[in-house]
Homo-oligomer: A and B are copies of this chain.
Amino acid sequence: MTDAAWSSQVKWSADGLVVAVAQDFQTRKVLMLAWMSPESLRLSIEEGRAVYWSRSRQRLWRKGEESGHVQRLHEVRLDCDGDSVLLLVEQLGGIACHTGRETCFYSRLIDDRFVAVDPVLKSAQDIYGKDGEKPDLGVK
A residues whose Cβ falls under 8 Å from a Cβ of B: 4-6, 9, 19, 21, 23, 28-30, 32-33, 45, 75-81, 83-84, 86, 97-99, 101, 104-109, 112-114, 137-138, 140
Contact = CB atoms under 8 A, between A and B. Distances in A.
Contacts of A97: 80
20 contacts: A4-B112, A5-B112, A6-B109, A6-B113, A9-B107, A21-B21, A21-B30, A30-B86, A33-B84, A76-B114, A77-B106, A77-B108, A77-B114, A78-B114, A79-B105, A80-B98, A80-B101, A81-B137, A81-B140, A84-B105
A6 B110 CA distance: 9
Contacts of A107: 9, 77-80
